[in-house]
A and B are shown apart, each in its own frame.
Chain A
Amino acid sequence: MSALLFEGADWSFDTIQRIHDRVEEIALGELKLDVYPNQIEVITAEQMLDAYASSGMPIYYGHWSFGKRFAQHEGHYRKGFSDLAYELVINSSPCISYVMEGNTALMQTLVIAHAAFGHNHFFKNNQLFKEWTDATGILDYLQFAKAYIAQCEETYGERAVERLLDAAHALMSHGVHRSPRRRKTDFKTEQARAKERREYDERVYNELWQTLPAGAPKVVTRTPQERLADLLELPQENILYFLEKTAPKLAPWQRELLRIVRLLGQYFHPQRQTKVMNEGTATYVHYKIMSRLHETGSISDGAYLEFLTSHTNVVFQPEFDDRRFSSINPYALGFAMMTDIERICVAPTPEDHEWFPQLAGCNDPVEALKDVWANYRDESFISQYLSPRVMRDWRMFHLVDDPAEPTLRVEAIHDERGYRRVRRAFAREYDIGHTDPQIEVVSVDLEGDRRLILQHSVRQGRLLAGRDTSEVLGYLADLWGYPVLLREVDEHGNGLREHTSEPRERRS
């Protein structure tokens, strides 16, 4: 049908344009994908390492931990322990895909199909991303954050800013409102709001006001505890948010820094919950597109073989007793499940009719998958779509390590009795509500020493790791300005362990 897009391994910017146009034809015309405009940037290995170090973003504020990450990746890369990724893609509009200069023409094709269309479609359509991230504003916001933090460093000193960022980073995993859902953040108004807050703080500050007499006491109808809880929105799982709003001793710029870290953490929040889906989507899409390219004569047999080799490596899943095994490969799992959905749609077995009555034989895999891509995250995707067939192919089994028992126990395997249980247990592993410790601010001792009281709801005896916890708690106390107490409480409300910490000036 069409002539070869390229021959050999070399490529030029013309080639990339041609490849993109052809891939776009297939992606939009045949797969009916819906994507942000694409921007493809060619970068060097060093620039890829730079991008790694700053969470894949083109701009980021300065902090030593990014330098550490750079040193780490660079060390591995130089030693040859790890290859660099062929691509990196940013959830923004336009959607920026980085491609390495060293890639062959075939790899560039694969990368464009994978990132510029697979990931891109997912970013634009998945419900979580729509709710939690603002793709059009992120780059501007990063620019603002970088400038703001640099300005703070100049005004208040690098040390002070570093201390605050250290503390904020330590609490980053607890800087998201998991439920109820937050309204979408808009990074443009964020910037305006930050400015406004700063100006307001400067404007209203007046020593005189400190001496005003208090008004007449209001009629109290609720208990002080209830009133406090209402006032401070307790219990509060978003610790960074709580500190930003209520920590008594923080300066306005410190609150703003907490907010920046919190909002960026929130931006990455959906990615953590959609690893399998995100990579599965991109892998499925690139597989479809590359096969189509080969069928229509746009790439040669040799190039297609090169693609297959690379694709096979990407979706390789070692078994649990393999030396190479470390965890489930999200590319492999996502791709396996999505190709299986396609199979169920097109060639269902009686088992599929029983398990997936709405899908089986519907003959429109693209629509079915687009619905999946739009509405699910890893946990719900697995709990609904992991089919017995995939569990059998992967020979999955559920292993339980209960410290009360002398041995490990095989709880369920890939058989009639086990499918649902394996699937349920597997899905839970992807539920960050389950895997992340659930820690909430529950109270503040306003009448005593202003101690902040937090509670960790321990599940299945999984206590917090001691040393890290006391360090994080130290940071937390620094931000709060008064002592903090963290109680670990089990399902029945029994206290298991307590950690306390004092702010730095009192600790030393």
Chain B
Amino acid sequence: MYVIDRRLNPSGKSLPNRQRFLRRAGKILREAVRNVSSSRPIRDVAEGGVVIIPARGIDEPSFHTGSDGLHSRVLPGNKEFLEGDRIARPSGQGSGKGKGSGSQSGSGGGGEDDFKVALSAEEFLTLFLEDLELPDLERRKLSLTDSTGMRRAGYTRGGSPANLALTRTMRNALSRRMALKRPKPEEMARLREALAEAEARGDGTESDLLRVELAALELRTRSIPYIDPIDIRYRRFEPSPRPIAQAVMFCIMDVSGSMTEHMKDIAKRFFMLLYVFLERRYNQVEIVFIRHTDEAKEVDEKTFFESRETGGTRVSSALLEASRILDERYPVADWNIYIAQASDGDNETGDHERVTALMRDALLPQCQYYAYLEVDEPHNDTPRSSLWKTYDNLQPGPSMRRVTTRQEIYPVFRDLFRRKSEALETTSR
């Protein structure tokens, strides 16, 4: 007989088969992932989790009989039945029906139930972004945005008191005291006690001896300081270039009466994609939600998507608000700034001058990327909106797309980023 410890074998033996399974279930899984993600708050979109897919999509068929025909079954636990008794058919899935026949074949397994798949965050995101070929060039551009910062670099003997490295200093002092055999306070206390005792006893020789010893130790204590200037250390800092590892994303949306739920849903999906995209690339991503009618306000996510306002539409109010928040909280030197705006394109007449000025002077020069998404009801073939025309006149202007159905979001998102990177490429040549 052998006993073998298999616990140390490499784990993850089923991983290749899991990947085959995910690939096989790819299409339905992707759909499920997108359904799940649309009901989540933007920040949680990229988390893993359980998705439910219909078992039908990934079943393994086999020849087996269905529920037609005569079925018979022997069951345990008879209470009152006698031979020849008639029993009404149980409603729904009868216990005597459809079971004992083909279902024993072992394959099939899950039957008609929904199938739950637990996905890791990585798998979830891969599925979520699968058909989005996010441009490489964009990433290069992101890593170029450097700023300098101070970096800890060991200790120094001189420096400002604010940078005193207390622990290090105390450690140095302790080792020096030990090395030079500075008498310990306990030892001194013990000697003094013994001296007092000896004096009380009137033992002259003993107390003289002790007094001499004590005097020697006191002298030593005085000559070896508790903390010496040579112990003192300061934290040293060094300037170093540092890529900006944080980004802020402004979501600007028109919430006036003309924006329907459908349009907001499209906008939300777009914001979500942008968030996921940024989060993959930056350590920290902050989101600022600004909604506007004829006046703009910074709100939380729930209010942003759910509450409804009445009023006119003045786009410049939102741009002004964004610009204010930018200046106040997100200096360009420290933050990568992304702005995504969704609107149906309506704007007050007479506001265009201000919009143009704000965009040209305040926002566009500061941000990495400005995406403008014009949303509309499906099959609504309205001519170019006034806001579109305004943005179109800007040089360089924001990236703009018009979206009317949910399905268009992913291609448009991809397109937006690709276009921009290609444009960059041509200008850099």
Could you tell me if A319 and B65 are in contact, using CB atoms closer than 8 angstroms?
Answer: no
A-facing mask of B1-38, CB < 8 A → 1, else 0?
A: 11111110101011011111111110000000000000
Residues 234-254 of B contacting A (Cβ, < 8 Å): none
B105 at the interface (CB under 8 A from A): yes
- Taking CB atoms, residues of chain A closer than 8 Å to B67 are 465
Could you tell me if B16 and A464 are in contact, using CB atoms closer than 8 angstroms?
Answer: no
A426 to B61, CA, bound (A): 27
Could you tell me if A62 and B17 are in contact, using CB atoms closer than 8 angstroms?
Answer: yes
- Taking CB atoms, residues of chain A closer than 8 Å to B72 are 398-401, 411, 425
Could you tell me if A70 and B18 are in contact, using CB atoms closer than 8 angstroms?
Answer: yes
Decide: A64 near B23, CB < 8 A? Known: A410-B83, A418-B83, A468-B63. yes
Count A-side interface residues using an 8 Å CB cutoff.
104
A92 to B118, CA, bound (A): 34
A-facing mask of B338-358, CB < 8 A → 1, else 0?
A: 000000000000000000000
Contact of A37 among B1, B6, B23, B78 (CB under 8 A): B1
Could you tell me if B76 and A396 are in contact, using CB atoms closer than 8 angstroms?
Answer: yes
B64 at the interface (CB under 8 A from A): yes
Decide: A42 near B5, CB < 8 A? Known: A435-B101, A460-B70. yes
Could you tell me if A320 and B63 are in contact, using CB atoms closer than 8 angstroms?
Answer: no
- Taking CB atoms, residues of chain B closer than 8 Å to A43 are 6-7
A-facing mask of B69-102, CB < 8 A → 1, else 0?
A: 1111111111101111111110000111101111
- Taking CB atoms, residues of chain B closer than 8 Å to A411 are 72, 83
Decide: A395 near B78, CB < 8 A? Known: A72-B110, A74-B118. yes
Count B-side interface residues using an 8 Å CB cutoff.
71
- Taking CB atoms, residues of chain B closer than 8 Å to A460 are 69-70
B115 at the interface (CB under 8 A from A): yes
Contact of B3 among A16, A78, A394, A465 (CB under 8 A): A16
B-facing mask of A347-367, CB < 8 A → 1, else 0?
A: 000000000000000000000
Contact of A437 among B2, B65, B110 (CB under 8 A): B65
Could you tell me if B61 and A170 are in contact, using CB atoms closer than 8 angstroms?
Answer: yes
Could you tell me if A17 and B75 are in contact, using CB atoms closer than 8 angstroms?
Answer: no
Residues 150-186 of A contacting B (Cβ, < 8 Å): 158, 162, 166, 169-174
B71 → chain A, closest Cβ, in Å? 5
A-facing mask of B141-170, CB < 8 A → 1, else 0?
A: 000000000000000000000000000000
- Taking CB atoms, residues of chain B closer than 8 Å to A13 are 3, 5
- Taking CB atoms, residues of chain B closer than 8 Å to A371 are none
B138 at the interface (CB under 8 A from A): no
- Taking CB atoms, residues of chain B closer than 8 Å to A74 are 118
A467 to B108, CA, bound (A): 13
Could you tell me if A40 and B62 are in contact, using CB atoms closer than 8 angstroms?
Answer: no
Closest to A272 in B: B106
Could you tell me if B16 and A437 are in contact, using CB atoms closer than 8 angstroms?
Answer: no
Could you tell me if A39 and B102 are in contact, using CB atoms closer than 8 angstroms?
Answer: no
A205 → chain B, closest Cβ, in Å? 32
- Taking CB atoms, residues of chain B closer than 8 Å to A78 are 118
B121 at the interface (CB under 8 A from A): no
Decide: A401 near B6, CB < 8 A? Known: A394-B77, A437-B64. no
Could you tell me if A47 and B3 are in contact, using CB atoms closer than 8 angstroms?
Answer: no
B109 at the interface (CB under 8 A from A): yes
Could you tell me if A327 and B70 are in contact, using CB atoms closer than 8 angstroms?
Answer: no
- Taking CB atoms, residues of chain A closer than 8 Å to B104 are 272, 432, 435
B-facing mask of A54-89, CB < 8 A → 1, else 0?
A: 100000001111111111101100100000000000
- Taking CB atoms, residues of chain A closer than 8 Å to B133 are none
Could you tell me if B61 and A429 are in contact, using CB atoms closer than 8 angstroms?
Answer: no
- Taking CB atoms, residues of chain B closer than 8 Å to A171 are 62-63
Q: Can you add 15 more A-B contacts, CB < 8 Å, to A327-B100, A394-B77? A: A13-B3, A40-B3, A44-B11, A49-B14, A75-B118, A158-B20, A162-B24, A320-B77, A328-B76, A399-B72, A408-B86, A425-B74, A435-B104, A464-B63, A466-B66
Q: List residues of chain A with CB under 8 Å of any chain B CB.
A: 13, 16-17, 20-21, 24, 37-44, 46-47, 49-50, 53-54, 62-72, 74-75, 78, 94, 98, 101, 116, 158, 162, 166, 169-174, 272, 317-322, 325, 327-328, 394-403, 406-415, 417-418, 422, 425-426, 429, 432, 435-437, 439, 456, 458-469, 471-472, 475
